[in-house]
Amino acid sequence: MKRVMCALAFGFVSLVFPGLCAWAGTSYTYNISCTTGNWKYYFLTVPSGTARLRVETYGGTGDSDLYLRYPTYPTTTAYWRRSNQIGNVDYVDVANPPAGRLYIGLNAFATFSGVTLKATETTASSNWQTEMRNRVNYERSRVGAVALAWNTPLVTAAQLHANDMALHNFSGHTGSDGASTFTRIQRQGYFSGYGSYGYGENVAAGQPTVAAVMTAWMNSPGHKANILNVNFRDFGCGYRYNAAAYYDYYWCQTFGYRH
């Protein structure tokens, strides 16, 4: 699965400000270059309610240092956050950043070129589980399937698998310990005492919001089939963010019936 991002709201700046480049309409800016001792400046508008913000640079040659500051240009001595590793692989990752205009400065410790600048934000909130189940049940209602009920064993199984994927940097149905979907759900006691049962699981990585991951699943026939399966009665879901992992955002849904 490709890595997916959610773009921030970007602003435009008049070119009367020397050295300032407007970052407009995209989450990436490519092929940035600058000579030793000079700066390249960008800005973005951080929305209210942002749960996490990650700004990073990578690629190219030379040595660029990353500085962030509200609500004006950063310098090497006045900044909100910074990352000045050797080379061009720098990042700042912050939970619950303030809303407002955030200026991004790339300082050329040594002349650099071909650098990529990227920003990612997520607004996943504390009620994401309710939003997820509501969206699942809305899709089910459109095909006449009954609404799914919360089930604690399924919630636990889903959350543990989301944690596992995020912490071990993978996306798939086989856990880092080799456990299958069935084994994970069985461990939580969901099948205990029942003679007949069924289950399903959806996983995804890279989508920063419930809306984005639900869109991805509904556009995939196999995942959509799980969501709309008329036999399922119970539901659980898990989500884990890990900035150190490749996809950042990791999701899991579990479904079941038993009788």
Tens digits of residue pLDDT in 69-112:
999 999 999 999 999 677 778 989 887 788 888 999 999 999 99
Handedness of CA 64, 66, 69, 75 (dihedral sign): negative
Q: Would you say residue 48 has pLDDT above 70?
A: no
Cα 37 to chain centroid distance, Å, stands at: 34
Q: Are 158 and 257 in contact (CB under 8 A)?
A: no
**Helix (H), strand (E) at residue 134:** helix 128-141
Please, what is the angle between helix 128-141 and helix 221-228, to 10°? 90
DSSP for 240-258, please give it: EE-TTSSSSEEEEEEEEEE
- The β-bridge partners of 230 are none
Total-model pTM: 0.58
d(CA 197, CA 89): 49
pLDDT of residue 38: 94
**Which residues lie closer than 8 Å to 242 by C-beta, 6 or more apart?**
166, 167, 169, 248, 250
- The whole-chain average pLDDT of the chain stands at 84
pLDDT of residue 189: 97
d(CA 202, CA 187): 18
d(CA 209, CA 128): 8
- Considering only the C-alpha atoms of the chain, give the largest distance between any 2 of them, rounded to a whole number of Å: 74
pLDDT of residue 123: 59
- The β-bridge partners of 255 are 200, 235
